[in-house]
Amino acid sequence: LAKTTQPISMDSYEGQEVNITCSHNNIATNDYITWYQQFPSQGPRFIIQGYKTKVTNEVASLFIPADRKSSTLSLPRVSLSDTAVYYCLVYTDKLIFGTGTRLQVFP
Amino acid sequence: KAGVTQTPRYLIKTRGQQVTLSCSPISGHRSVSWYQQTPGQGLQFLFEYFSETQRNKGNFPGRFSGRQFSNSRSEMNVSTLELGDSALYLCASSLVGTSGRYEQYFGPGTRLTVT
């Protein structure tokens, strides 16, 4: 079962781009890579999902290299409201959350 | 469309009691999964129900059980509560299941405190 490794915490300032990298060395051929955002006392919220190369939506981009052993969530121009915990997940037959990255955005 | 709803939002129980939590998925979603979140263990998968059948199960003792009804609503039951069961219990629904291509939508959770 693939496991993910992420930095425990990151700090940034408003307006900056934030890149959070996740390692998933044991990813299987059919596994998708998904990122969730969680605020205190709320359930996680889906941000983006990808299988390979690059995926972009209205809130983030996800970069996945050819070997798929890592992925990078890119948040453009973060604001204070982006302060949250971000989870990288590799889908297999069940959703296994990693420890997450606590992003703190300062004014 | 309405999101995932969970009731109650907060609950206080004493050791040895049992508790039932409820989850109503997004309309049309047939898969419901349950998770336990604690500061020490993070988010842990409990089980998933799809079309009234348990499809996946995490590594939790038999005190944790669940069921799903024909309208896809799900309940989770914890018997003989222990202090360590204090946690945020999250329910998530998805269109088909926890396969790679379908995202899960989480409810706000039920905060269970065991005293």
**Digit-coded pLDDT (tens) for B53-90:** 998 899 999 999 999 999 999 999 999 999 999 999 99
Q: How sure is the predictor about A28, in pLDDT bands with cuts at 50, 70 and 90?
A: confident
For strands B10-13 and B110-114, give the pairing.
parallel
Kindly state the tokens that stand for A72.
């990078």
Please tell me the predicted confidence (pLDDT) of residue B92: 93
The alpha carbons of chain A give a radius of gyration, in whole angstroms, of 13
Residues 6 or more apart from B108 whose CB is under 8 A from it?
A41, A42, A43, B5, B6, B9
Whether B103 and A49 lie within 8 Å, measured CB to CB: yes
Q: What is the mean pLDDT of residues A63-78?
A: 95
Q: How sure is the predictor about B1, in pLDDT bands with cuts at 50, 70 and 90?
A: low
pLDDT at B2 over 90: no
Question: Chain A, 27-46: which have a CB under 8 Å from a chain B CB?
Answer: 30-32, 34, 41-46
Contacts of B42 in chain A (CB under 8 A): 97-100
Compute how many other C-beta atoms are within 10 angstroms of the C-beta atom of residue A103: 21
Please tell me the predicted confidence (pLDDT) of residue A79: 97
Report DSSP state, residue A5: B
Q: What is the mean pLDDT of residues A44-65?
A: 93
